[in-house]
Amino acid sequence: MGPLWLLALIAGLSFFGFVLGHWKSVVLSGKGRDALAARPGYYGAYVLIWTAIPALLILVVLSVARPFLVEHTVRVNLPEQVLANPTQLSLEISGVRQVATGLKLATHEELEDIRIGVVAARSVFARHGLPLGEDVKPYQLIAASALNVVSDGLNTAVDIAVVAALAFGLIFAFVRVKPRLRARNLVESTILAILIGASSVAILTTVGIVLSLLFQALQFFSVVSPINFYFGTVWDPRFAAAGSTESGQFGFLPLFWGTIYISFFAMLVAVPIGLFSAVYMAEYATSKVRSIAKPLIEILAGVPTIVYGFFALTTVGPLIRDFIALPLGLGTSGNNVLTAGLVMGIMIIPYVSSLSDDIITAVPRSLRDGSLALGATRSETMRQVILPAALPGVVGAVLLAVSRAIGETMIVVLAAGVAARASLNPFEEMTTITVKIVNQLTGDLEFTSPQTLVAFALGITLFVITLGLNVLALTIVRKYREQYE
Amino acid sequence: MSAVQAVTPFETIRTPDAASRPVKIHTVAVKVTYGQKEALHGVSIDIPEKAVTAFIGPSGCGKSTFLRCINRMNDTIAGARVEGTIKLDDQNIYDPDLDVVELRARVGMVFQKPNPFPKSIFDNVAYGPRIHGLARSKADLEEIVVTSLQKASLFNEVKDRLNEPGTGLSGGQQQRLCIARAIAVSPEVILMDEPCSALDPIATAKVEELIDELRANFTIVIVTHSMQQAARVSQRTAFFHLGHLIEEGPTDHVFTNPLEQRTQDYITGRFG
Q: What is the pLDDT of residue A481?
A: 63
Rg over alpha carbons for chain B, rounded to the nearest Å, is 19
Task: Assign B4 a pLDDT band (cuts: 50, 70, 90).
Answer: very low
Torsion sign over Cα A377, A378, A383, A385? positive
- pLDDT above 90: residue B104: yes
DSSP state letter for A391: H
pLDDT number for residue B3 = 41
Using DSSP, state whether A439 is helix, strand or coil: helix
- Nearest by CB to A374, from B108, B119, B167: name it: B108
- Tell how strand B80-88 and strand B91-92 pair up: antiparallel
**Which of A364, A373, A484 lies closest to B104 in CB terms?**
A373
Residue B156 CA to residue A472 CA, distance in Å, equals 39
User: H/E element holding B90?
Assistant: none
ipTM of the complex: 0.89
pLDDT digit of tens for each residue in chain A (485 aa)?
677 889 999 999 999 999 999 998 888 887 665 677 788 889 999 999 999 999 999 999 998 898 888 888 888 888 877 777 776 777 788 888 888 888 887 787 887 777 777 777 778 888 877 777 777 777 888 888 888 888 888 889 999 999 999 999 999 999 988 888 888 888 899 999 999 999 999 899 989 988 988 988 998 898 888 888 898 888 888 755 444 455 678 889 999 999 999 999 999 999 999 999 999 999 888 888 989 998 898 888 889 999 999 999 999 999 999 888 888 888 888 888 999 999 999 999 999 998 899 889 888 889 999 999 999 999 999 999 998 888 888 888 898 889 889 988 889 988 888 888 888 888 888 899 999 988 888 877 777 788 888 889 999 999 999 888 888 888 877 776 655 55
Give the pLDDT confidence score for residue A93 in this predicted structure: 81
E strand or H helix that includes residue A333: none
Q: Taking a C-beta distance cutoff of 8 angstroms, is the pair A44, A22 a contact? A: yes
Contact B101, A371 (CB under 8 A): no
What is the mean pLDDT of the segment spanning B42-50?
A: 92
Q: What's the whole-number mean pLDDT along residues B255-268?
A: 89
**Which three-class secondary structure state does DSSP give residue B111?**
coil
Chain A residue numbers touching B109 (CB-CB < 8 A): 369, 373
Is the CB of B76 less than 8 angstroms away from the CB of A376? no
Distance (Å, whole) CA A12 – CA A7: 9
| pLDDT, tens only, B106-152 | 999 999 999 999 889 999 999 999 999 988 999 999 999 999 999 89
Domains in chain B with CATH codes: 2-267 (3.40.50.300)
Question: Which residues are paired to B110 by β-bridges?
Answer: B192
Q: How many CB atoms lie within 10 A of CB A265?
A: 21
Of A287, A372, A385, the CB nearest to B73: A372
Test the B interface: residue of A374, A377, A483 with most B CBs within 10 Å: A374
Instruction: Please report the pLDDT score of residue A483 as a whole number.
Output: 54
**Per-residue burial over A193-209, b = 16 or more CB atoms within 10 Å of its CB, e = otherwise:** eeeeeeeeeeeeeeeee
Which pairing describes strands B219-223 and B189-193: parallel, antiparallel, or unpaired? parallel
What distance in Å separates residue B115's CA from the closest CA in chain A? Answer: 6
Amino acid A171: pLDDT: 93
CA nearest A288 in B: which residue?
B78
Picking from A203, A207, A201, the residue whose alpha carbon sits closest to that of residue A60 is A201
For an interface test with A, give the residue of B88, B99, B104, B113 to mutate (most A CBs within 10 A): B104
The nearest CA of chain A is from the CA of B163 a distance in Å of: 12
> Residue A229 — φ and ψ, nearest 5°?
-75, -55
Confidence of residue B53 (pLDDT cuts 50, 70, 90): very high
Q: What is the pLDDT of residue A452?
A: 85
| Interchain contact A364–B (C-beta under 8 A) | yes
* B62 φψ region: left (φ > 0), alpha (ψ -120 to 50), beta (else): left
Question: Quick one: pLDDT at residue B28?
Answer: 92
Q: What is the pLDDT of residue A109?
A: 80
CA dihedral for A214, A215, A216, A221, sign (positive or negative): positive
Strands (E), A20-125: none
The CATH superfamily assigned to A235-484 is MetI-like (1.10.3720.10)
pTM: 0.74
pLDDT, tens digit, 9 for 90 and up, residues B57-86: 998 888 999 999 999 998 888 888 999 999
Instruction: Give residue B2's pLDDT.
Output: 43
CB A374 within 8 A of CB B105: yes
- Judged against a pLDDT cut of 50, whether residue B1 lies above it is answered with no
CB contact under 8 A, A485 and B167: yes
Say yes or no for a CB contact (<8 Å) between B127 and A374. yes
For testing contact with chain A, the best of B120, B131, B169 (most A CBs within 10 A) = B131
User: Mind listing the pLDDT tens digit for each residue in B87-99?
Assistant: 999 899 998 889 9
* Distance in angstroms (rounded) separating the CA atoms of residues A175 and A228: 69
Q: DSSP 3-state assignment of B244?
A: strand
Output the CA–CA distances (angstroms, integers) from residue A113 to A95, A106, A118, A123, A224, in the order listed.
21, 10, 5, 12, 55
> Which pLDDT score is estimated for A72?
86
- Select from B118, B167, B181 the Cβ nearest to the Cβ of A374: B181
Q: Domain boundaries in chain A? A: 3-181, 235-484
Q: Which of A464, A452, A334 is nearest to A406 (CA)?
A: A464
Give φ, ψ of B85 to 5 degrees: -120, 135
Amino acid (1-letter code) at residue B6: A
What was the pLDDT predicted at A340?
Answer: 93
Paired sense of beta strands B52-56 and B37-48, if any: unpaired
Report how far residue B77's alpha carbon sits from residue A286's, in angstroms, rounded to the nearest whole number.
11
Yes or no, beta carbons of B102 and A385 under 8 Å apart: no
A287–chain B Cβ distance below 8 A for any pair: yes
Q: Find all residues with CB under 8 Å of B83, minimum gap 6, and list them.
A: B29, B30, B31, B32, B33
Q: Residue A71: what pLDDT?
A: 84
CA–CA min distance A299, chain B (Å): 28
With CA atoms as reference, the chain B residue closest to A376 would be B101
Range B148-168 average pLDDT = 91
